[in-house]
Amino acid sequence: MTTDTAVADPTTGEGGVPLLHTLNEWQRRVPLLQLLALAALYVYGLSTIEGFGSQRVLYAILVNASLLGLAGAGQTIVVLVGGIDFSIAAFISAGNVIIAELCGTDHWSTGAAVAVALAVGVLGGLVNGVLSYRFKVEPLIVTLGVSALLSGLVLKWINGSATGVAPAWLGTLTAANGTTFGIGIPPVVVIWAVVAIVIGLVLTRTRAGRNLYLTGVNQSAARLALVRVNRTWIYAYVASAVLATCVGILLAGYSGSGNVTIGDPYLFQSLAAVIVGGTMFGGRGDYWRTVLGALVLSVVALLLSANQLSSAAQDMITGGLILVVVGLYGRERRLRDRI
């Protein structure tokens, strides 16, 4: 990166291996590797585990992937703009507890409880975005701080233990045997599909999405090209927090009751889905890759639990996947710099 003249020189670089070059070219446009991995994992499951191909297992994977994919949606947006969000887990837990407590214990109407949860998401996202942008504090630190603060506030509010029960209809949204308007697909999967289409469209076909990429790739250039970088950055964090809160609400249905630690696995998994999908910090990638990443991780999780492996094994595999993908993409990046 230190040389300022990028002179095209066909004699250097990986020009000698045309197949590799073509594959790399494809990988840049389509997440081939992730698709292959997903297919391979699924086939492996089919051949080694009895009943893996059943609809029940498929829906279990999809429901799991939906929740993870939705949690990873906000992370994708934040990573694309060049930040990182480690408060997603806390917003998931907060959304979850708010719904359970307000509806289950305090008997609020669902609408009012959802509104409160979303308001908390908007406010928390603003704090994340404003602190990390205006005061130039490292987003990692800001979001961890906001995360701890929010968790503490929630715990204080419920005096240390969650007692609420989620409204019954929420449970039907995330049930693997649930139906959507009579069709036999769990509603949460349909919700995920709709959200994925909307986010995909917003990212590629709207000014808001384009500004996200411009800011993520080169903040100074974006500012000079009249992008309102500050707004773009802050809105990305608000979107992330709100999406996480929504996941918390859905999870309240999934688990049936409020649980202050329900978001914890998503602290790492939401980022893992983004990175395994192949979205890199600062404007490289899209939401479809995160969708794939969430599917891959969910299939892995099911395979491991079917083989009665511990969560320790799951952590190791997730970690390994991240390192492999990051290694591959890091290599591609060097390649690109050389051409």
Partner 1 sequence: MSEQSQVALEVTGLAKSFGATRALRSCSLRLLAGEVHALMGENGSGKSTLVKILTGVHAPDSGGYRVGGRAVRLGGPAAAIAAGVMAVYQEVLVVGPRSVLENVWLGADGVFRRKISEADKRARAAAVLGELLGEAPDLDTPVEQLSLSDRQACGIARALVREPRVLILDEATSALDVATRDRLFEALARRRSAGMAVLFVSHRMDEVDAISDRVSVLRSGESVATLEAADATTAELVRLMTGAEHLTDIPEGGAPAHRSGPAADAPVLLRVRGLRLRPDADPVDFELRAGETVGLAGLEGHGQDAFINALWHGPAGAGSVARVEVGGETEIRSEQRAAAAGIGYVPRDRRGEALFGTLSIRENFSAATQDKDTRFGLLSRASALGRFAEYRSGLKVRMGRESDPITTLSGGNQQKVVIARWLARRPDVLLLNDPTRGVDIGAKRDIYALLDELTARGVAVVMLSTEVDEHIELMDRVLVFREGSHSTTLDRPSLTRQSLVAAFFGRTVTSSVAGSASPDGDS
> Scanning residues 76 to 115, which ones bind partner 1 (CB under 8 A)?
none
- Which one among 180, 185, 223, 281 touches partner 1, defined by CB under 8 A? 223
Q: Which is nearer to partner 1, 3 or 47 (CB)?
A: 3
- Which one among 61, 78, 79, 227 touches partner 1, defined by CB under 8 A? 227
Q: Which is nearer to partner 1, 284 or 289 (CB)?
A: 284
Per-residue 3-state assignment (H helix, E strand, C coil) for the chain = CCCCCCCCCCCCCCCCCHHHHHHHHHHHHCCHHHHHHHHHHHHHHHHHCCCCCCHHHHHHHHHHHHHHHHHHHHHHHHHHHCCCCCCHHHHHHHHHHHHHHHHHHCCCCHHHHHHHHHHHHHHHHHHHHHHHHHCCCCHHHHHHHHHHHHHHHHHHHCCCCCCCECCHHHHHHHCCCCCECCECCCHHHHHHHHHHHHHHHHHHHCHHHHHHHHHHHCHHHHHHCCCCHHHHHHHHHHHHHHHHHHHHHHHHHHHCECCCCCCCCHHHHHHHHHHHHCCECCCECCHHHHHHHHHHHHHHHHHHHHCCCCHHHHHHHHHHHHHHHHHHHHHHHHHHHHC
Judged by CB under 8 A, the number of residues near partner 1 is 29
Smallest separation, CB 25 to partner 1 (Å)? 10
Is residue 214 a contact point for partner 1 (CB under 8 A)?
yes
Smallest separation, CB 14 to partner 1 (Å)? 15
Q: Which is nearer to partner 1, 41 or 214 (CB)?
A: 214
Smallest separation, CB 155 to partner 1 (Å)? 38
- Which one among 243, 283, 290, 304 touches partner 1, defined by CB under 8 A? 283
Q: Which is nearer to partner 1, 56 or 338 (CB)?
A: 338
Smallest separation, CB 224 to partner 1 (Å)? 6
- Which one among 224, 316, 323, 324 touches partner 1, defined by CB under 8 A? 224
> Scanning residues 170 to 209, which ones bind partner 1 (CB under 8 A)?
201, 205-207
Q: Which positions touch partner 1 (CB under 8 A)?
A: 3-8, 201, 205-207, 210-211, 213-214, 217-218, 220-227, 282-284, 336, 339
